[in-house]
Amino acid sequence: MAADLHTFVNVLQSSMPQCIKNEEDAAEVITIVGSVITNALKNQDTAYLEGIGEWRSEKGSGRKNVIFTPDRMLVDAANE
């Protein structure tokens, strides 16, 4: 089963009920995380989320390519 926005929203709400009061709050957190990653890539910088991995952009053949390197914890979890 794929983890979609609804899945992330539900997990945020159940994990942090004192901070995430409703679906809109949870969706905003996810939007902000996505924006931070996008802005880093646009600025030729990297974005790193512990336990998930690192995103960076590299030029190749006249285009920017997005490179994702998973964190060791993510790789280990996927191989369990």
Q: Total domain count for the chain?
A: 1
26 is written with which tokens? 């949870």
Average model confidence (pLDDT) across the chain = 91
Q: Is the pLDDT of residue 1 over 60?
A: no
Q: How far is CA 45 from the centre of its chain?
A: 15
Whole-number Å distance between alpha carbons of 66 and 63? 10
3-class secondary structure, 44: coil
pLDDT digit string, tens, across residues 35-60: 999 999 999 999 999 999 999 998 87
Question: Which alpha helices (DSSP H) does 1-80 contain, by range?
Answer: 5-15, 23-42, 72-78
Which CATH number goes with the domain that contains 71? 4.10.520.10
Q: Domain limits at 16?
A: 5-78
More confident residue, 62 or 75: 75
